[in-house]
């Protein structure tokens, strides 16, 4: 127990050291962007957060399928943990986006294809987590939430495709013409470093959240058992009386 | 018994149960009508604006009506625990889901077809020349709503706050369908009217993806 918690602490420290280094790299090592200057540096956390969220949702989707196939509770725990962590990263994307957009585009939000799709993605996984809290039956909860999780993930490509199609048919309200294909080599390296740091953070959070879910499951089972025994004792007492 | 025969029997049972009371259809139609009327108060559109925003309004009304109407589909079975009886029948579980989906399709499409001429008169938007193509969009869009909605109705029936939960589950998933259906309908009202292939493809893709998913997952959905 002590060894494993020391191990966790070590892993956490390593992740935070990596995050700190990535932060420094994004702030000091990456070259200044020609037109946007300092505000562009939010990009090093905005974009990797989006990638990390997608990875987390992919893990949820795989865990949902694995649960329905194997019916092992560990897949259910992984599914909900990953969805929660993914949602946190997705929230970071939705918050850092407008912070960047206000000085650069002059507005906080626009119904652009990517922004809108990310928002819908966020809503889908909010619904998924909400559904879990409202399903009381401990046997049905993992099955039904896995079914909804699979539907939600299948919806993602349809959402992206339809919103892209929808937006390209309309004039763009904000001009940021053909986005920077071709990125400075140092910038790219810093970006990948930040992604590695955020992915490490995601795995750390996922592990902790998974442990929490497992403990919750164990306490539920213990409580159920205690209640069962109490009921038995009561019945026995009545029988004697 | 084959799946299609079993689904037809379930469909007949659902239709019979509904036409005895007509509760579901009446409330759905009145609800959708109210949405259409309230639109006029909140936006006061001109005829040109109606043509531009009317399709969006119509599909929002259909989506909301569907997300309310689909809830009793499985919740109704709980009062007398009849879902267990259905499950015990020696038929493919998909037949139960398919029968209910088809019944919901009939109800929602019926409500839509009643609403369409009323909308057309109130907002001075004519559908006469494009009726056939519009019907195709309506059928594909409605199929998408009821395929996902019937599955989610079975999920929500087991949860707390289920009346509120169903729209919450259904509406974000229906985003691509809403966009495609609205854009296709706007195209039909344009001059000259045209039915955009890509939007039809999105609608068909949506229906196929989720029908396949519900076929694959219905054993889990209706187990026990």
Q: Is B44 left (phi over 0), alpha (psi -120 to 50) or beta?
A: left
In the prediction, which pLDDT does A79 show?
96
Contacts of B179 (CB under 8 A, 6+ apart): A162, A163, A165, A166, B202
Q: Residue A61: its chain B contacts at CB < 8 A?
A: none
In the prediction, which pLDDT does A108 show?
86
Candidates B173, B171, B189; CA nearest to B53 is B189
| Nearest CB to A154; choose among B159, B198, B209 | B209
Domain limits, chain A: 11-232
Q: How far apart are CA B143 and CA A177, in angstroms?
A: 38
How sure is the predictor about A67, in pLDDT bands with cuts at 50, 70 and 90? Answer: very high
CA atoms lying within 13 Å on the CB side of residue A57: 29
- Cβ–Cβ of B161/A155 closer than 8 Å? no
Candidates A188, A189, A192, A170; CA nearest to A180 is A188
How far off is chain A from B150, nearest CA to CA, in Å?
Answer: 12
In the prediction, which pLDDT does A198 show?
94
How sure is the predictor about A180, in pLDDT bands with cuts at 50, 70 and 90? Answer: very low
Chain B: residue whose CA lies nearest to A121: B172
How sure is the predictor about A168, in pLDDT bands with cuts at 50, 70 and 90? Answer: low
- Cβ–Cβ of A147/B180 closer than 8 Å? no
How far off is chain A from B164, nearest CA to CA, in Å?
Answer: 11
Q: Residue B173: its chain A contacts at CB < 8 A?
A: 124, 151-152, 155
Element (H, E) at A95: helix A73-105
Asked if residue A176 has pLDDT above 50, the reply is: no
Q: Residue B165: its chain A contacts at CB < 8 A?
A: 130-131, 134
Q: Residue A169: its chain B contacts at CB < 8 A?
A: 183
How sure is the predictor about A218, in pLDDT bands with cuts at 50, 70 and 90? Answer: very high
Cβ–Cβ pairs < 8 A, chains A and B: 84
How sure is the predictor about A174, in pLDDT bands with cuts at 50, 70 and 90? Answer: very low
Give chain A's count of helices (H) and strands (E).
6, 0
Domain limits, chain B: 3-221
pLDDT tens for each residue of chain B, 224 residues long: 788 999 999 999 989 988 888 888 999 999 999 998 888 888 888 888 888 888 999 999 999 999 989 988 888 888 778 888 888 888 889 999 999 999 999 999 999 999 999 999 988 888 888 999 999 999 999 999 999 999 999 999 888 888 889 999 999 999 999 999 999 999 998 878 888 889 999 999 999 999 999 999 999 998 87
**A203–chain B Cβ distance below 8 A for any pair:** no
Query: For A97-123, what is each residue's pLDDT tens digit?
Result: 888 888 888 888 888 888 888 999 999
A174: DSSP letter: S
**A12–chain B Cβ distance below 8 A for any pair:** no
In the prediction, which pLDDT does B193 show?
85
What count of other Cβ atoms lies within 10 Å of the Cβ of residue B25? Answer: 18
**A163–chain B Cβ distance below 8 A for any pair:** yes
How sure is the predictor about A173, in pLDDT bands with cuts at 50, 70 and 90? Answer: very low
**A115–chain B Cβ distance below 8 A for any pair:** no
Beta bridge partners of B167: none
């Amino acid at each position: 127990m002590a060894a494993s918690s020391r191990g966790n602490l070590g892993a956490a420290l390593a992740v935070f050291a990596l995050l700190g280094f990535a932060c420094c790299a994004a702030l000091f090592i990456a070259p200044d962007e020609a037109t946007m200057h300092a505000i562009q540096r939010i990009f090093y956390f905005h974009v990797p957060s989006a990638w990390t969220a997608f990875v987390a949702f992919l893990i949820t989707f795989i865990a949902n399928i694995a649960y329905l196939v194997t019916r092992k509770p560990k897949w259910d725990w992984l599914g909900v943990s990953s969805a929660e962590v993914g949602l946190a990263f997705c929230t970071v994307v939705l918050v850092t986006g407008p912070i960047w957009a206000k000085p650069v585009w002059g507005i906080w939000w626009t119904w652009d294809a990517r922004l809108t799709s990310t928002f819908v993605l966020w809503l889908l996984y909010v619904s998924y987590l909400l559904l879990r809290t409202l399903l009381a039956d401990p046997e049905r909860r993992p099955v039904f939430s896995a079914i909804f999780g699979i539907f939600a993930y299948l919806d993602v490509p349809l959402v992206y495709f339809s919103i892209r199609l929808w937006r390209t048919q309309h004039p763009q309200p904000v001009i940021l013409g053909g986005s920077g294909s071709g990125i400075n080599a140092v910038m790219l390296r810093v970006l990948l470093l930040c992604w590695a740091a955020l992915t490490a953070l995601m795995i750390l959070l996922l592990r902790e959240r998974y442990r929490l879910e497992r403990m919750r499951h164990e306490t539920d089972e213990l409580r159920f058992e205690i209640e069962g025994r109490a009921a038995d004792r009561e019945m026995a007492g009545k029988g004697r009386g | 018994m084959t799946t299609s025969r079993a689904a037809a029997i379930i469909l007949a049972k659902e239709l019979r149960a509904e036409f005895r009371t007509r509760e579901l259809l009446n409330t759905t139609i009145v609800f959708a009508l109210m949405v259409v009327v309230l639109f006029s108060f909140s936006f006061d559109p001109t005829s040109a604006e109606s043509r531009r925003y009317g399709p969006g309004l119509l599909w929002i009304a259909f989506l909301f009506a569907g997300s309310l109407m689909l809830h009793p589909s499985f919740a109704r079975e709980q009062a007398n625990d009849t879902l267990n009886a259905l499950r015990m029948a020696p038929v493919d579980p998909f037949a139960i889901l398919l029968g209910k989906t088809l019944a919901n399709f009939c109800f929602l499409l019926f409500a839509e077809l009643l609403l369409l001429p009323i909308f057309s008169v109130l907002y001075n938007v004519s559908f006469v020349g494009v009726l056939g193509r519009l019907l195709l969009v309506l059928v594909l869009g409605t199929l998408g709503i009821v395929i996902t909605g019937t599955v989610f109705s079975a999920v929500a029936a087991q949860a707390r706050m289920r009346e509120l939960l169903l729209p919450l589950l259904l509406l974000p998933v229906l985003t691509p369908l809403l966009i495609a259906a609205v854009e296709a309908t706007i195209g039909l009202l344009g001059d000259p009217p045209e039915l955009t292939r890509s939007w039809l493809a999105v609608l068909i893709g949506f229906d196929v993806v989720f029908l396949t998913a519900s076929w694959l997952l219905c054993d889990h959905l209706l187990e026990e």
